[in-house]
Chains A and B, each alone.
Chain A
Amino acid sequence: MEFLTIQNNQRVDISSIPVLQYEDFSSFIIDLINDNDNHCVNYYGYQDNNQIKLICCIANDTQHVIYVTSSIVDKNSELNSISKKHLSFEKFEREIHENFGINFIGHPWLKPVRYAFNRADKTKTIANYPFYTIESEELHQVGVGPIHAGVIEPGHFRFICNGEQILHLEIQLGYQHRGIEELFLQKKELIQRATLAENIAGDTVVGHSVAFANAWESLCDYTPSEALQFDRALALEHERIAIHTGDLSAICADIAYQLGNSVLGRLRTPVINYFQQWCGNRLAKSLIRPFKTNFPYNEYLSEKWFEVFDAFLPDFNEICEQIFDLPSALSRLEKTGVVKTEVAAEIGMVGVAARASNFNRDIRFSHPFGYYKNESFNSIMGKNGDVYSRSKIRMDEANQSISFIKEMLKKIPNHEIQEGEIINEPKPNSFVVSLVEGWRGEICHCAITDEKGELKHYKIKDPSFHNWLALALSVRNEGISDFPVCNKSFNLSYCGHDL
């Protein structure tokens, strides 16, 4: 057998994952990815007895299963690159190269990913990143960052321009690296790990903390109650509404539509304040915990939710309709920053940006967990993959999430039933994949325990990991002044990428 078939959040024995010779491993993966239903949700390595164990998780979206396979290789070994056949692996291979010094032959360019503190080659530093350059007297370079003009996270953008036109953009990240995967092992208390999970990316608190809670509970063979599953799905959809509203506001700012910026900015306030009413934090930190909730949902909160959205919806739809009907706004949004469906597929885009390119990647639909298992869920798809599509889909998804929550609130499960006995002891020698559709897209956490049931390795993948390349490709041949609105239309995470 070349692979193990599992489902989202299914704990398996680590020894049940087949270990293949690298050549078989890579050709097997290449064959799998040739099928359009399959995509790689995580491919990473970790140190195992002085060797490197590579684990690859390929999700099949129509069968709703995940194929897991592995290989053991030496540090500093030379392996044939998978990226040569499937470009969507280029970032994964770069990460493995950076961490362990493994050389992938045929990879386009094994550039550093994030300059992790435990990288293999410490002589490579963030100040000496090897940018792509073109020698020509007619071209010029524009460097932006790491510190940007607005109040946002750091990252460096290097443009090669012909006049005002962008020929090439390279995005260099790593400034945000906090060693978070290592901290998951260092910090032993569950509350510490839950806190780490909600600080992976402060704009995706619910997404990442649900991914962690699901992974941890699966390791402990614990099935969360209906009430917990309800709370998590509700929080995920509510987070989606909040951020999509804020993103639309930011997109308006970048096309200089002040009214849209202000109205949508103020409309976001009651949505995030609702999280505060629920759990005491506007970004939902402290809301999601494994095994339990400190803030059980109730009728009063449900009434408040309807109050908030009865006021929100007419104003939200009024301003959105205006934006998508305004010639001066449309001229900035339409046909700007296009990512074609074929490109999205080739580079392995995920989430809302992929769907805007008419490329369906949606974990709620393809690998549902908890509450989503019982709901029929249809992803909203965009058409053209331009800034317009990425904006319009945000309006539509916000509306979809609002309807979804309205349906949910018709039947609130009883939160007073005592949770089953909680045994906070992860099973030994286990492996689990936890997939969640955050507002940005597919979040993947993979956990491995040792023979004592201690966490041995924790791997986090934010949707931004794939989508940063999409942003870089989308701005080619655009005017450099359109970069900000393209960037906002993706709104990718720096800290989620840098970890």
Chain B
Amino acid sequence: MFNNFKILYHQGKQFIPDVTTVEVPGIFRGRPIISTESVDVKKLQSVCPTKAIGENPVSIDMGKCTFCGACSIAFPTKIKFTKDYKTASNERENLIVYEGVETPIKFDPNKTRKEIHSLFKNSLKLRQISAAGDNSCEWELNAAGNVNFDMGRFGVEFVASPRHADGIVITGPISENMAEPLKICYDATPSPKVIILAGTDAISGGIFNESPALNRNFLNNYKIDLYLPGNPTHPLTIINGILGLIGKK
């Protein structure tokens, strides 16, 4: 038992005191900014693996972006990735960043359903569904709850049963083989319930978007409450996105 105390003492303080303002160490590719410089747009688009770059005006769709940085390496004065990890939004179109626009990603609380704020502000229990996710977003969702990021401090946790959940978090591009289990799990969650998409694969299909093995019909039938971009989405993006959704910041 004394050994355990000793180990405990050796850990010091590991939690991040303020997960809304902390800076990410090292390189981090968060919200991109696009300068108004004119470049060969076709060439710029050709370096992107997931066709996330649009033209007139030049834009990057963070719902498709894998954040690999290839565009900013090929065109360093045109595209820069900032360390801003608050890239989540409750509306799909807000994930698109246009040239010359350097404002933070828009998150309009009025567009969130009223009951989400009133019911889930202090406690949100989520059921995660990996629908052909590659286990990277699943990792980061788990990491969001570890002792460093400690999402539990806001009353946000993952639960084992959809019956105990207030919503679902989908990762992965949604394979045909997971389409039915996903629907069953969603139906088993009591209303009102939220739907969160975590990661590029879930939001747009990512690199898998033209695969014949997918079935993304589920997404056409329900309103998505929160989009968490990234490949995988970073724990700080997850936590800040969810805080935005439940109206805690």
Query: How far, in angstroms, from A116 to B175 measured CA to CA in the complex?
Result: 10
- Determine if B132 and A277 form an interchain contact, defined as CB atoms under 8 angstroms apart: no
- Determine if B49 and A189 form an interchain contact, defined as CB atoms under 8 angstroms apart: yes
- Determine if B10 and A178 form an interchain contact, defined as CB atoms under 8 angstroms apart: no
- Determine if B27 and A280 form an interchain contact, defined as CB atoms under 8 angstroms apart: yes
Does B214 reach chain A (CB closer than 8 Å)?
Answer: yes
Does B8 reach chain A (CB closer than 8 Å)?
Answer: yes
Q: Contacts A117-B213, A276-B24, A278-B26 given; indicate if A269 touches B137 (C-beta within 8 A).
A: no
Does A294 reach chain B (CB closer than 8 Å)?
Answer: yes
**Least Cβ–Cβ distance between A136 and chain B, in angstroms:** 29
- Determine if B3 and A322 form an interchain contact, defined as CB atoms under 8 angstroms apart: yes
- Determine if B25 and A276 form an interchain contact, defined as CB atoms under 8 angstroms apart: yes
- Determine if B136 and A202 form an interchain contact, defined as CB atoms under 8 angstroms apart: yes
- Determine if B181 and A265 form an interchain contact, defined as CB atoms under 8 angstroms apart: no
Name the contact of B212 in the complex, choosing from A179, A201, A493 (C-beta under 8 A): A179
- Determine if A153 and B68 form an interchain contact, defined as CB atoms under 8 angstroms apart: no
**Least Cβ–Cβ distance between A19 and chain B, in angstroms:** 31
Residue tally, chain A, CB below 8 Å to B:
65
- Determine if B4 and A259 form an interchain contact, defined as CB atoms under 8 angstroms apart: yes
Does A146 reach chain B (CB closer than 8 Å)?
Answer: yes
- Determine if B147 and A262 form an interchain contact, defined as CB atoms under 8 angstroms apart: yes
Chain B contact residues (Cβ within 8 angstroms of A): what range? 35 or more
- Determine if A147 and B10 form an interchain contact, defined as CB atoms under 8 angstroms apart: no
Interchain Cβ contacts within 8 Å, total number: 200
Does B56 reach chain A (CB closer than 8 Å)?
Answer: no
Q: Contacts A202-B134, A269-B148, A494-B135 given; indicate if A175 touches B67 (C-beta within 8 A).
A: no
**Least Cβ–Cβ distance between B193 and chain A, in angstroms:** 15
**Least Cβ–Cβ distance between B238 and chain A, in angstroms:** 11
- Determine if B7 and A179 form an interchain contact, defined as CB atoms under 8 angstroms apart: no
Query: How far, in angstroms, from A195 to B28 measured CA to CA in the complex?
Result: 18
Does A420 reach chain B (CB closer than 8 Å)?
Answer: no
| 30 chain-A/chain-B pairs, Cβ below 8 angstroms | A126-B177, A150-B160, A152-B135, A152-B138, A153-B133, A176-B172, A178-B132, A178-B208, A180-B208, A182-B211, A183-B208, A191-B48, A191-B68, A195-B207, A199-B206, A202-B137, A203-B136, A262-B147, A269-B143, A273-B25, A276-B25, A278-B26, A280-B26, A280-B81, A283-B232, A285-B68, A314-B10, A322-B3, A494-B135, A495-B135
Q: 14 new A-B pairs (CB below 8 Å) besides A273-B25, A294-B70?
A: A117-B211, A175-B178, A177-B177, A179-B212, A201-B134, A202-B133, A202-B134, A262-B147, A266-B148, A280-B28, A280-B29, A280-B69, A283-B139, A322-B3
